């Protein structure tokens, strides 16, 4: 049996930091409200010159270094993003060129904040098929570009960044199980309902969200899908060393951990200093905890995402 295993992680945050106080200067909001309702204190914002593929390139190089693989070893690139550089070509193809890799399969996955979980589960299946041996799986976003900076209900929540893992074929797992779900009936709860049409934008190019509905939905499905992934692996909640949820809101993370019956010290939390970086949030959080020496080889991880679509999913893996 072939399994896949995370061999290295990397991440990148653009240097510019935006604090809550920066919003309070322009909008009717406050540092206290944002911290209390979301747990967020600051987020990183990409320079105008930086696109998702640039953030992805930095994160990927670090992941490849950590995994001790070179360009010729990579035979699959999957980028999860909702803020691609262009309509096409895919950000994965642009990343491939920036990394100096040629020939391997490269494509994007669009599952919004669940994107990295979808990408990891997809790469796992490609590797299990035996046709691919070494995948670069990336979440990269410049959400600052799709925010209405006058909408206090959304613009304070998001940030930019990228995270990456190298996933290699292995005789031992690695990834034990993955569960992916979607329900398009909830498309209107979180969307950027715009389109490029004959040189014009039709609809809206800005993120829209019914925040309190998303909140309730997220807590419900993160609990359900986490349990499903554990059952699929023949594991229980006692077999989780770290819960790595999509970093949307500290209150969502607290409520999810409580429902799952996990103590706060097992929950990876980076939303306070990253904000919500959509598909990048899970690999960014993973890499931060790995580099801090908190997540160690052999630790059992439950990765969980939820986002627009609606989409949600979980991966249970031994690091
Ligand atoms: O990645 C997945 C996507 N996103 C999420 O997971 C986000 C999920 N939702 C949330 O995190 C929360 O719903 C929010 C943080 C967005 C909002 O918190 P809430 O406790 O659900 O507040 P609310 O939307 O029910 O709004 C409460 C009040 C409203 O004022 P009124 O109508 O009661 O007068 C809002 O206008 O808070 C107001 N409000 C703000 N006030 C100060 C909304 N945003 C702000 C703000 N500063 N930035």
Blockwise average pLDDT, block size 10, the chain, 319 residues: 97 98 95 98 98 98 98 98 98 98 98 98 98 98 98 98 98 97 98 96 97 97 98 98 98 97 97 98 98 98 98 98
What was the pLDDT predicted at 82? 98
With a 6 A CB cut-off, is 207 part of the ligand 1 pocket? no
What was the pLDDT predicted at 84? 98
Domain boundaries, the chain: 3-172, 176-318
Centre of ligand 1 from the C-alpha of residue 212, in Å = 7
DSSP 3-state of 187: helix
What was the pLDDT predicted at 50? 98
Pair 303, 120: CB distance under 8 Å: yes
- CATH superfamily, domain 176-318, is Thiolase/Chalcone synthase (3.40.47.10)
Give pTM, 2 decimals. Answer: 0.97
Q: How far is CA 228 from CA 9, 83, 180, 307, in A?
A: 26, 29, 10, 18
Q: b or e along 9-42 (b: 16 or more beta carbons within 10 Å of the residue's beta carbon)?
A: bbbbbbeeebebeebbeeeebebeebeebbbbbb
276 is annotated as an active-site residue: yes
DSSP 158: B
- Please say whether the structural domain 3-172 has been given the CATH code 3.60.21.10: no
Between 31-38 and 250-260, two packed helices, what is the crossing angle to 10 degrees?
Answer: 20
246 is annotated as an active-site residue: yes
DSSP 3-state of 120: helix
Task: Report how far residue 38's alpha carbon sits from residue 45's, in angstroms, rounded to the nearest whole number.
Answer: 18
DSSP 283: H
What was the pLDDT predicted at 77? 99
Mutate to test the pocket of ligand 1, among 211, 216, 276, 282 (most ligand atoms within 8 A of CB): 211
Bridging pattern class, strands 3-12 and 42-44: unpaired
What was the pLDDT predicted at 262? 97
What was the pLDDT predicted at 304? 98
Q: Give yes or no on whether 3-172 and 176-318 have one common fold.
A: yes
Q: How far is CA 216 from CA 38, 231, 290, 306, in A?
A: 14, 23, 30, 11
**Annotated catalytic residue: which of 93, 104, 113, 134?**
113
With a 6 A CB cut-off, is 91 part of the ligand 1 pocket? no
């Amino acid at each position: 049996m072939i399994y896949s295993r995370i061999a290295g992680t990397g991440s990148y945050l653009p240097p510019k930091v935006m604090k809550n106080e920066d919003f309070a200067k322009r909008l009717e909001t406050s540092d206290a409200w944002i911290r209390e309702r979301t747990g967020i204190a600051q987020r990183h914002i990409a320079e105008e010159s930086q696109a998702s593929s640039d953030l992805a390139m930095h994160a990927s190089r670090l992941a490849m270094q950590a995994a001790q693989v070179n360009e010729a070893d990579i035979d699959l690139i999957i980028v999860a993003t909702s803020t691609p550089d262009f309509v096409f070509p895919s950000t994965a193809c642009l990343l491939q060129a920036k990394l100096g890799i040629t020939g391997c399969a490269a494509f994007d996955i669009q599952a919004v904040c669940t994107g990295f979980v979808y990408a990891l589960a997809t790469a796992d299946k490609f590797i299990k098929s035996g046709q691919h041996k070494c995948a670069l799986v990336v979440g990269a976003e410049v959400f600052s570009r799709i925010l209405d900076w006058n909408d206090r209900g959304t613009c304070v929540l998001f940030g930019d960044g990228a995270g990456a893992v190298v996933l290699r074929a292995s005789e031992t797992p690695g990834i034990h199980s993955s569960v992916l779900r979607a329900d398009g009936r909830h498309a209107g709860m979180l969307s950027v309902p715009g389109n490029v049409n004959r040189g014009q934008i039709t609809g809206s190019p800005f993120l829209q969200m019914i925040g309190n509905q998303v909140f309730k939905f997220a807590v419900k499905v993160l609990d359900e899908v986490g349990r499903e992934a554990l059952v699929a692996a023949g594991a229980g909640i006692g077999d989780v060393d770290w819960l790595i949820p999509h970093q949307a809101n500290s209150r969502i993370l607290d409520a999810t951990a409580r429902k799952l019956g996990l103590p706060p010290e097992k929950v990876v939390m980076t939303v306070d200093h990253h904000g919500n970086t959509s598909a990048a949030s899970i690999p960014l959080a993973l890499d931060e905890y790995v580099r801090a020496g908190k997540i160690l080889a052999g630790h059992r991880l439950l990765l969980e995402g939820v986002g627009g679509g609606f989409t949600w999913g979980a991966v249970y893996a031994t690091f």
